[in-house]
């Protein structure tokens, strides 16, 4: 290994006591490949097995904590105890390769396809989806409390299934994001109406999960939180609003906060003064001393990862890069960083061990992946 890359291979111990062998994480990525009954498929197991081992930690694709929370076709489930063996199969696969296994949990809210939730699409408020095709039903207070409970129960299942932690999916326009956003949350009760009240649901979910960990975990078990830093809509949350959310999350003794970005070095749109700092630097300066930050987005090369680490972001997540190059970490460790693949061709599905639904999305969506 070239000496300058050694910082990428330093171990990291989270507040909970979970330790990872290096600073590189497999980011959670939807693959649409689970069985029809909501169990993990053989294709998914093979896909994760191919990518685990080099990275210090694997964060799985999201699993829904409530029956009416499924956000995608081909998504594995975590909403009842019957799913524990399926969840355990994936955790075991990842851990046997030497990586820590983290289960991402969520509720899709108004992003759920109606056919997957018997037509009962729910959210914070009855605000139509951006394409105008679905208007969700506003959740009642009782239903909100039930979903909060579901997050705690899903955490218990993750513990029983052998995971090393969970990541709360509060990003990418799903239910926690919807409650935080003034665009999708028009409530005037304890769950909305002001920025402080829009924080109530996400923070209650964190509390329920922390309580489940305290009650059920018999080993170090981490809790992370993923968020999107801004919204483009006029009533959507700004970077300034996100800094308030970060302050609140930093008080919850989380193991990390994961910032969901397409470009790690992107600049804030609105809500903060022009300081010359990119979003990740603003977040680092606000809460980086209190809670570890994980960054993701267009980190293609070893030098990109090193640059991100040197910015003061201690954990680097890779998504598409690990699909294109499953041996990304191993090649750097072996001094072969120049051999890291940065493109793929349409005849390499079997070589890269990618399930059919994900592969079809890769080759059909222009610009999503570097297909040559």
CA distance 1 to 96: 24
CA distance 216 to 226: 23
CA neighbor of 15 nearest in space, from 248, 292, 311: 292
**pLDDT for the residue 130:** 86
Local confidence band at 276 (pLDDT 50, 70, 90 cut-offs): confident
- Which residues touch 356 (CB under 8 Å, ≥6 apart)? 33, 43, 349
**pLDDT for the residue 178:** 98
Residue 348 has pLDDT above 90, yes or no: yes
Least confident of 270-284, 326-340, 349-363: 270-284
Local confidence band at 239 (pLDDT 50, 70, 90 cut-offs): very high
- Which residues touch 133 (CB under 8 Å, ≥6 apart)? none
Burial of 355 (0-12, 13-18, 19+ CB in 10 A): buried
CA distance 29 to 20: 20
Q: What is the pLDDT of residues 171-197, one digit of tens each?
A: 999 999 999 999 999 999 999 999 999
CA distance 237 to 249: 16
Domain locations along the chain: 3-364
Local confidence band at 83 (pLDDT 50, 70, 90 cut-offs): very high
Least confident of 145-149, 222-226, 276-280: 276-280
- As annotated, the active-site residues are 174
CA distance 69 to 229: 23
CA distance 171 to 224: 12
Question: What's the average model confidence in pLDDT over 32-39?
Answer: 97
**pLDDT for the residue 273:** 78
**pLDDT for the residue 22:** 98
**pLDDT for the residue 16:** 98
CA distance 209 to 78: 14
- Supply the CATH classification number for the domain 3-364: 3.20.20.70
Residue 271 has pLDDT above 80, yes or no: no
Centre a 10 Å sphere on the Cβ of residue 7 and count the other Cβ atoms it contains. Answer: 14
- Is the CB of residue 317 less than 8 Å from the CB of residue 27? yes
Local confidence band at 32 (pLDDT 50, 70, 90 cut-offs): very high
Question: What's the average model confidence in pLDDT over 85-96?
Answer: 98
Residue 201 has pLDDT above 90, yes or no: yes
Cα dihedral value 69, 71, 72, 75, nearest 10 = -50
- Output the pTM of the full model: 0.97
Q: What is the pLDDT of residues 293-343, one digit of tens each?
A: 999 999 999 999 999 999 999 999 999 999 999 999 999 999 999 999 999
- Is the CB of residue 362 less than 8 Å from the CB of residue 354? yes
């Amino acid at each position: 290994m070239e000496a300058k890359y050694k910082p990428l291979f330093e171990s990291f111990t989270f507040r909970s006591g979970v330790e990872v062998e290096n600073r590189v994480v497999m980011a959670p990525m939807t693959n649409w490949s689970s069985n029809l009954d909501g169990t993990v498929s053989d294709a998914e197991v093979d896909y994760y097995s191919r990518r685990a081992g080099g990275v210090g930690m694997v964060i799985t694709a999201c699993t829904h904590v409530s029956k009416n929370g499924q956000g995608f076709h081909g998504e594995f489930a975590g909403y009842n105890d019957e799913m524990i063996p399926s969840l355990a199969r994936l955790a075991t696969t990842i851990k046997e390769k030497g990586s820590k296994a983290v289960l991402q949990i969520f509720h899709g809210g108004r992003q759920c396809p109606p056919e997957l939730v018997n037509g009962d699409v729910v959210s914070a408020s009855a605000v139509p989806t951006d394409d105008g095709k679905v208007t969700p039903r506003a959740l009642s207070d009782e239903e909100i409390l039930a979903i909060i409970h579901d997050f705690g129960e899903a955490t218990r299942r993750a513990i029983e299934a052998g995971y090393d932690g969970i990541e709360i999916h509060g990003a990418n326009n799903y239910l926690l994001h919807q409650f935080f956003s003034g665009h999708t949350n028009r409530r005037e009760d304890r769950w909305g109406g002001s920025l402080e009240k829009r924080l109530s649901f996400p923070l209650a979910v964190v509390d329920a999960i922390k309580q489940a960990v305290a009650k059920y975990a018999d080993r170090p078990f981490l809790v992370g939180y993923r968020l999107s830093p801004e919204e483009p809509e006029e009533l959507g949350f700004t970077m300034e609003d996100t800094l308030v959310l970060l302050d609140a999350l930093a008080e919850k003794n989380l193991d990390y906060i994961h910032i969901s970005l397409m470009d790690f070095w992107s600049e804030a749109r609105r809500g903060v003064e022009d300081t010359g700092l990119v979003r990740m630097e603003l977040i680092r300066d606000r809460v980086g001393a209190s809670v570890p930050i994980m960054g993701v987005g267009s980190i293609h090369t070893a030098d990109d990862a090193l640059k991100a680490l040197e910015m003061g972001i201690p954990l680097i997540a890779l998504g598409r890069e690990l699909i294109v190059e499953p041996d990304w970490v191993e090649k750097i460790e072996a001094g072969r960083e120049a051999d890291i693949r940065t493109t793929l061709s349409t005849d390499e599905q079997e070589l890269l061990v990618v399930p059919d639904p994900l592969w079809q999305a890769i080759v059909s969506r222009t610009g999503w992946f570097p297909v040559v």
